[in-house]
Amino acid sequence: MSIGIHLVGDLKGVAPEKISGSEAMQEVMEGAVKFGKLTKIRSYYHQFSPNGVSGIILLAESHLSFHTWPEYGLVALDIFTCGPSENAESALEYILEKLSPTSIEFKRIERGLEFPRGSQKEKLLEAVV
């Protein structure tokens, strides 16, 4: 167990039209937040000229961020949550389904291994009982 899960990936071979504009990427990322049952605080998307997008969604659980290079069919993706790992994984699955990369370079990092998720809640419950 750890305090959080950090999913970092390069999504390759994504159709340029899917990752060129901020509206399309906003739809995918906001959908991922909902599908992953994550808690959005605020989001920001920046449209580059002539194309390409960067964005970040601040979550109560941490963040989801990305940067696109349509000319290479590349999306650099970062999902970090301190909630259940299934939520981050569901958000990633949603993004992969919508963007359909031909390949993925992916790392799963367990953050804060010395601080297991739920340990503070369990300690509080023990103190009450």
Domains of the chain are 4-128 (3.60.90.10)
Q: How many CB atoms lie within 10 A of CB 33?
A: 20
- Spot the catalytic one: 82, 85, 90, 119: 82
Quote the tokens at residue 36: 């992953």
Coil/strand/helix, residue 94: helix
Give residue-wise pLDDT tens across range 91-121. 999 999 999 999 999 999 988 877 766 555 4
| Longest CA pairwise span in the chain (Å) | 60
Among 16-20, 56-60, 63-67, 122-126, whose mean pLDDT is lowest?
122-126
* Contact by Cβ (8 Å): 80, 5: yes
Whole-model pTM: value is 0.86
- Spot the catalytic one: 2, 67, 90, 119: 67
Instruction: Tell me, yes or no, if 82 is annotated catalytic.
Output: yes
- Spot the catalytic one: 20, 22, 62, 65: 62
Instruction: Tell me, yes or no, if 6 is annotated catalytic.
Output: no
